[in-house]
Amino acid sequence: MNVFNNLSTLIFLPLLGAILLLFVPNNIRLIRQIGLISALLAFIHSLFFWVRFDNSTAHFQFVEQMNWLPSSNIQLYIGIDGISLFFILLTTFLIPICMLAGWSSIQNYRREFMIAFLVLEALMIAVFCMLDLLLFYVFFESVLIPMFLIIGVWGSRERKIRAAYQFFLYTLFGSVFMLLGILFLFFQTGTTDIQILYTTEFSERRQILLWLAFFASFAVKVPMVPVHIWLPEAHVEAPTAGSVILAGILLKLGTYGFLRFSIPMFPDATLYFTPLIFTLSVIAIVYTSCTTLRQVDLKKIIAYSSVAHMNFVTIGLFSLNPQGIEGSLMLMLSHGFVSSALFLCVGVLYDRHHTRLVRYYGGLANTMPVFCAIFLFFTLANMSLPGTSSFVGEFLILVGAFQSNTFVATLAATGMVLGAAYSLWLYNRVAFGNLKPHFLATYSDCNRREFFMFLPFVIVVIWMGIYPQIFLDTMHDSVMHCIEHSRI
Amino acid sequence: MNEWLYESAWLVAILPYFASLVAGGGLLVLRKATRSLREWHRTFLMGSLATSMILSFLLVQAQLGGSGPYRWAMDWIVSGHLRLQMGYLVDPLSSMMLVLITTVGLVVMLYSHKYMAYDQGYVRFFVYLSLFTASMLGLVLSPNLVQVYVFWELVGMCSYLLIGFWPNRLGAAKACQKAFVTNRIGDFGLLLGILGLYWATGSLEFGEIAERLARLLASQALGLFFPTLCCLLLLLGPLAKSAQIPLHVWLPDAMEGPTPISALIHAATMVAAGVFLIARMCPIFQQLGTVMETMAWAGALTSLLGASIALTQTDLKKGLAYSTMSQLGYMVMAMGIGSYEAGLFHLVTHAYSKALLFLGAGSVIHGMEPLVGWDPAKSQNMLLMGGLRRFMPITGTTFLLGTLSICGIPPLACFWSKDAILAGAWAAHPILWTIAWTTAGMTGLYMLRIYLLTFEGRFRGGSLLPYRSHQKAKPQEDGGMTSCLLILALPTVAIGWMNTPWFHLGPGPSPSLIAFSSMAVSSVGIALLGGCVAFLAYQRATLGLSGLSYQWPQLHRASYNRWHIDEIYDRSWVRTNQILAERASALDSWWIDGVANGAGLIGLVSGQANRAWQGGNLTYYALSMTIALVSLLAIVTFSTLP
């Protein structure tokens, strides 16, 4: 029984599924079922951690320790707190749905598809519970490998190879600097255990250099302007399930990194660079929102709106007060659900009509009413309508940002207006107007699999929008802990 | 009794929510079953709203009985020192709004049963209606600004859904987007205003903010500038919702939605939400003179602008929409000059009268559609109507009642309230009064013009009838719809009597008789004058108003084209934004290719450059070794520095 209380079990569970998949006969039903069941088991298992989570402490929980490189004093050290718990839950929540998204649309290498997602799941859970900087880096980078394959193998067009390269190179380019920073830290302090590093003080000049090294890596992941351009490319070329993971989890690695490392470890540098972050984020919000208005590709629209939302998150993080950071966490989670669901919506359309260009669509409200209701719900959630999860996040972020920099909050709030403009523009183009029968000959509404794929999203988004306190309570102590660190 | 009643006041908003969620969920999951059980669903949704209505009446009775305001709230979001609460506040203002919303909502539902009878989205329509009513009830019950904001957006969403109810109409798709985005600009201001006030005072409760603000201003801890700025931003919200200058452009376009919606949302309730919020915020606004003045002038100008545009509209519903805008201007002006009672009074009287007018217009459109075609450009075109009172006597008579009420003819409802506003304006500022008074005259002119063009004279639509055999066909009214008109005619006549010099309901002094009669004579006089002009021009045709428009075609065209404000917005804001978007996306795609090509170029160049170094030339090798050594040394020395 004790083994179920271990985070390492959670990491190995999907891996076990992946290994099992290697040896089963080539029966597609069996392969799918094994994949889905192991992902669902991981999800159920991850829920146990939330149930057993102790809200009243900011310390890391479910801690496990193992010697990894004893000669260099590097240990495999895992544990979670109120911040990382939800990212793990988000990961385990999204993976089964990704499998459902690829249920019938993935036609080749089906076994490998399932394996890729299970491996990806294990790696992502590992990233979020690593408490050792070097190992964090290892898993942070290793996530790229399955993702690169997912885009490259199951992507849709010829351009996918280029997009996959771009994705890989951009993120790798940033990470090199982080590796240098980590090595520097290691040679300075002799350890990469982040709990020790939290309590170590560095001189301001070092902090600035280190902060910049970490920033280079995280900023690409968030992504911040001007290194955001890999994202729309990667999204457009990735299969639906890949887009879901990309938007749902990989983007959060950047903001998670800021919150886990940059802010508590380098408090002086964080204060020093806050104006930079605010400037870049505000530019990104306005700039990408404007760009979104001119896109013709369904996926690009959602990808650009993701950039805008993620930069909202960075504003909240660097406002360095509880409202801002908790709001950011809420918005990250919310964005993980909402934009994933929007990508799934695009996937539903793409599966039927094999085009993502907006101009071929129109009048779907008549032929696909259920789909349009779902699409509308997530469109409204994307523009942070009250009652949905995004509103809670954006409102808290604005409260936080208003206290730390009124001007930035005002500019960021313009994103609200632009967000409404592009979201509604997209929905209206797809759902309203007349049908275009010479482009789209056949119609079918959501089938049962698709409906139940969306249902969990709807429930979670409304739940977080109406009763967010249960999430906030869990993250509160960890966030306060983080803020106290940054005030030292 | 009262205790129990107040404790269950939350049911007023929750019941219709619950009903709409059940029916809406059914529509999504069990589509066929839900649609075939449409009668059952309608009864269910109407029943829940009727229960809310009964509760509202009980609440208003308790409030009039003198029990004080009742407030209940629970924590919704707690984060650091921030505590957001959800709850409800029952006081005279909110209980009055509850009654207004539930009664109009119920009548509109009753009416829609007939109006939407042949529509495919019958159940969906009722679900949206119920959802809207519930959100509106939640809005008026809000005890704090955050809850106001939440429901403020939700009613905006319902308005979006209902304007775009018929997805095939391209106009509707454009209109609902315009409505939502324009309102979002208002919400943007509202949100910033809320945040600013929270930042300044540390509270989100109406009463607390006012108190703390007064203390801060008195102790000079806070200058006038910041709270004024916040309140002006906050004011953007009500201005957008209540279609005031400069954010009024969405309301006429919103007429693309089904007519019952125009009656409920875009005449009676949602557009009045702005006025309601201003009334709630009055203790705060009153401390800031600039805000009050801005409000007064925005309202006065809107009332004049709306009236001047309504003069030339040919679309029945658009004419009424501009009239609504103008009347809302009256209310906002009343708020700005501090006569809250008068403004709220006008809100109530206008709501019933305008709902009656819109439902009457719906009846007319319903009658016209089989004759001239299901095209709003024809079925709502007043130039194709005329003489309809002969075919639709009840619609015609009740429409006339509504028209006279809006014109301010005694003893109908709007007379009493408009008079109170004019009296307030007289006391506040002579120019404001002049504007309001002129508008009253124009109101008489355009309202009677609408009535005369629609219901009097000879039927002009015959020439357009598609088939010869139809030329004998006449527009007909539906019994189910006219019964709703009759119901609404009652408050249109009588609701004004609750606040007259002789009888007064609720708190505050009743208006004095002398001031009242002098105002009454002047306002009724100018309204009658406007009415007479309309009568002579459109009934008798002795007064050539058309000659007037020939003489000054620019003026006519400007009024018909809404003073070109929409075009100016299109050319300035929308166009700027489009150009910005174009540039941004061009930059983005240039950047994507630029980086890829740049990387390739660097590879090429560095390859070429490196070739020279790898050629076996010993000097180069020696040089590179030296460089490497020096840099290594530099790194070592650098990293051992403290």
3-state SS, A140-197, equals: HHHCHHHHHHHHHHHCCCCCHHHHHHHHHHHHHHHHHHHHHHHHHHHHHHCCCEHHHH
Contact (CB, 8 A) for A388 and A461: yes
Residue B162 has which token pair?
A: 């209902």
Closest CB to B181 among A363, A380, A424: A424
Q: How far apart are CA B43 and CA B20, in angstroms?
A: 12
Q: How far apart are CA A39 and CA A114, in angstroms?
A: 10
Q: How far apart are CA B501 and CA B517, in angstroms?
A: 10
Same domain, B166 and B92: no
Listing DSSP states for B139-159 in one string gives HHH-SBHHHHHHHHHHHHHHH
Domain enclosing residue B589, as ranges: 569-640
Three-state DSSP string of B264-288 = HHHHHCHHHHHHHHHHHCHHHHCCC
pLDDT, one tens digit per residue, over B548-580 is 666 677 777 777 777 788 888 888 877 888 888
* Cβ burial B111-128 (10 Å sphere, 16+ → b, else e): bbbbbbeeeebbbbbbbb
Whether chain A has a CB inside 8 Å of the CB on B168: the answer is yes
Same domain, B174 and B26: no
Total residues found in chain B within this entry: 642
Please, which residues 568-597 of chain B have a Cβ atom closer than 8 Å to chain A? 577-578, 580-585, 588, 591-592, 595-596
pLDDT, one tens digit per residue, over B315-338 is 889 999 999 999 999 999 999 888
Cross-chain residue pair A432–B82, CB shorter than 8 Å: no
Same domain, B113 and B157: no
Cross-chain residue pair A370–B195, CB shorter than 8 Å: no
Helix crossing, B122-141 with B92-115: angle to 10°?
Answer: 170
pLDDT, one tens digit per residue, over A20-69 is 998 888 888 898 899 999 999 999 999 999 988 888 888 888 888 887 77
Average pLDDT of A131-159?
A: 87
pLDDT, one tens digit per residue, over A261-294 is 989 889 889 989 999 999 999 999 988 888 888 8
Contact (CB, 8 A) for B109 and B126: yes
Residue B575 has which token pair?
A: 């166009």
Cross-chain residue pair A399–B595, CB shorter than 8 Å: no
Does residue B462 or residue B362 have the better pLDDT?
B362
Cross-chain residue pair B585–A391, CB shorter than 8 Å: no
Same domain, B95 and B21: yes
Q: How far apart are CA B567 and CA A395, in angstroms?
A: 34
Same domain, B354 and B403: yes
Does residue A382 or residue B609 have the better pLDDT?
A382
Residue B207 has which token pair?
A: 């009463």
Phi-psi sector, A62: left (phi>0), alpha (psi -120 to 50), beta:
left
Does residue A39 or residue A230 have the better pLDDT?
A39
pLDDT number for residue B512:
67
Quickly count helices (H) and strands (E) in chain B.
Answer: 29, 2
**Looking at B125, B143, B161, which one is the last position of a domain?**
B143
Cross-chain residue pair B191–A398, CB shorter than 8 Å: yes
CB neighbours of residue B221 within 10 Å: 9
- Integer-rounded Cα Rg, in Å, for chain B is 30
Same domain, B290 and B413: yes
For residue A485, count CB atoms less than 10 angstroms from its CB and return exposed for 0-12, middle for 13-18, buried for 19 or more.
Answer: middle
ipTM: 0.91
Share of chain B above pLDDT 70, in %: 91
Contact residues on chain B for A420, CB-CB shorter than 8 A: 180-181, 184
**Peptide bond between residue B246 and the one before it cis (omega within 30 degrees of 0):** yes
Same domain, B106 and B244: no
**Coil, strand, or helix at residue B72?**
strand
Contact residues on chain B for A294, CB-CB shorter than 8 A: 581-582, 584-585
Q: How far apart are CA B495 and CA B350, in angstroms?
A: 10
Mutation target to probe the B interface, by most B beta carbons within 10 A, among A228, A231, A294, A463 is: A294
Please, which residues 110-169 of chain A have a Cβ atom closer than 8 Å to chain B? 162, 166, 169
Contact residues on chain A for B192, CB-CB shorter than 8 A: 409-410, 413
Closest CB to B79 among A323, A370, A380: A323
Q: Which residues pair with A65 in a beta bridge?
A: A77
The half-sphere exposure of A353 on its side-chain side, counting CA atoms within 13 A, is 26
Q: How far apart are CA B406 and CA B161, in angstroms?
A: 29
Q: How far apart are CA B332 and CA B113, in angstroms?
A: 34
Q: Which residues pair with A458 in a beta bridge?
A: none
pLDDT number for residue A378:
94
Same domain, B540 and B596: no
Domain enclosing residue A227, as ranges: 3-485
**Looking at B522, B542, B560, which one is the last position of a domain?**
B560
Average pLDDT of A434-442?
A: 75
Same domain, B249 and B119: no
pLDDT, one tens digit per residue, over A338-348 is 999 999 999 99
CB neighbours of residue A162 within 10 Å: 14
Nearest CA to CA, how far is B590 from chain A (Å)?
10
CA-to-CA dists, residue B33 to B27, B123, B165, angstroms = 8, 11, 21
Cross-chain residue pair A327–B160, CB shorter than 8 Å: no
Q: Which residues pair with A357 in a beta bridge?
A: A297
**Peptide bond between residue A223 and the one before it cis (omega within 30 degrees of 0):** yes
* Cβ burial A443-466 (10 Å sphere, 16+ → b, else e): eebbeeebbebbebbbebbeebbe
pLDDT, one tens digit per residue, over A352-388 is 888 888 888 888 888 888 899 999 999 999 998 998 9
Same domain, B165 and B74: no
Cross-chain residue pair B170–A432, CB shorter than 8 Å: yes
Q: How far apart are CA B325 and CA B318, in angstroms?
A: 10
Residue B313 has which token pair?
A: 């509209």
- List the one residue out of B301, B319, B152 whose CA is nearest residue B251: B319
Residue A340 has which token pair?
A: 């994933």
Whether chain B has a CB inside 8 Å of the CB on A433: the answer is yes
**Looking at B143, B168, B203, which one is the last position of a domain?**
B143
The half-sphere exposure of B210 on its side-chain side, counting CA atoms within 13 A, is 13
- List the one residue out of A272, A271, A264, A257 whose CA is nearest residue A221: A257
Contact (CB, 8 A) for B421 and B339: yes
Contact residues on chain B for A425, CB-CB shorter than 8 A: 177
**Which residue of chain A comes nearest to B577, CA vs CA?**
A290
State the pLDDT confidence band at A126, using cuts at 50, 70 and 90: very high
Contact (CB, 8 A) for A308 and A288: yes
Q: How far apart are the first and last CA of chain B?
A: 78
Q: Work out how many domains chain B is built from and give that number.
A: 3
Q: How far apart are CA A81 and CA A58, in angstroms?
A: 7
Closest CB to A434 among B168, B177, B185: B168
Nearest CA to CA, how far is A432 from chain B (Å)?
5
Closest CB to A291 among B584, B595, B639: B584
Q: How far apart are CA A401 and CA A387, in angstroms?
A: 21
Q: How far apart are the first and last CA of chain A?
A: 41
Listing DSSP states for B110-139 in one string gives HHHHHHTTT-TTHHHHHHHHHHHHHHHHHH
Q: How far apart are CA A162 and CA B525, in angstroms?
A: 77
Cross-chain residue pair B75–A469, CB shorter than 8 Å: yes
Phi-psi sector, A384: left (phi>0), alpha (psi -120 to 50), beta:
left
**Which residue of chain A comes nearest to B27, CA vs CA?**
A370
- List the one residue out of A2, A299, A427, A356 whose CA is nearest residue B157: A427
For residue B38, count CB atoms less than 10 angstroms from its CB and return exposed for 0-12, middle for 13-18, buried for 19 or more.
Answer: middle
Amino acid identity of residue B74, one-letter, is M
State the pLDDT confidence band at B131, using cuts at 50, 70 and 90: very high
State the pLDDT confidence band at B491, using cuts at 50, 70 and 90: confident
Q: Work out how many domains chain A is built from and give that number.
A: 1
Q: How far apart are CA B309 and CA B288, in angstroms?
A: 32
Same domain, B184 and B75: no
CB neighbours of residue A85 within 10 Å: 22
Average pLDDT of B143-154?
A: 92
Q: To 10 degrees, the CA torsion angle through A129, A134, A138, A141?
A: 90
Residue A403 has which token pair?
A: 């206290």
Whether chain A has a CB inside 8 Å of the CB on B195: the answer is yes
Whether chain B has a CB inside 8 Å of the CB on A437: the answer is no
Contact (CB, 8 A) for A218 and A258: yes
Mutation target to probe the A interface, by most A beta carbons within 10 A, among B27, B35, B79 is: B79
- List the one residue out of A129, A472, A225, A219 whose CA is nearest residue A334: A472
Same domain, B467 and B577: no
Cross-chain residue pair A413–B188, CB shorter than 8 Å: yes
Please give the mean pLDDT across all residues of chain B.
Answer: 84
**Coil, strand, or helix at residue B81?**
coil
**Coil, strand, or helix at residue A308?**
helix
Local structure of residue B537 (DSSP, 8 states)? I
CA-to-CA dists, residue B183 to A300, A414, B154, B159, B197, angstroms = 26, 13, 11, 10, 21
Cross-chain residue pair A295–B585, CB shorter than 8 Å: yes
Please give the mean pLDDT across all residues of chain A.
Answer: 88
Total residues found in chain A within this entry: 488
pLDDT number for residue A19:
92
Cross-chain residue pair A433–B173, CB shorter than 8 Å: yes
Q: How far apart are CA B641 and CA B52, in angstroms?
A: 76
Sign of CA dihedral A337, A343, A349, A352: negative
Average pLDDT of B304-325?
A: 89
Q: Which range scores top for mean pLDDT: A256-265, B412-421, B501-510, B598-607?
A: A256-265
pLDDT, one tens digit per residue, over B373-390 is 778 888 888 888 878 888
Closest CB to A421 among B154, B181, B599: B181
Q: How far apart are CA A84 and CA A92, in angstroms?
A: 13
Residue B31 pLDDT greater than 90, yes or no: no
Q: Which residues pair with B87 in a beta bridge?
A: B73
pLDDT number for residue A160:
76
Q: To 10 degrees, the CA torsion angle through A150, A153, A157, A158?
A: 120
Entry pTM: 0.90
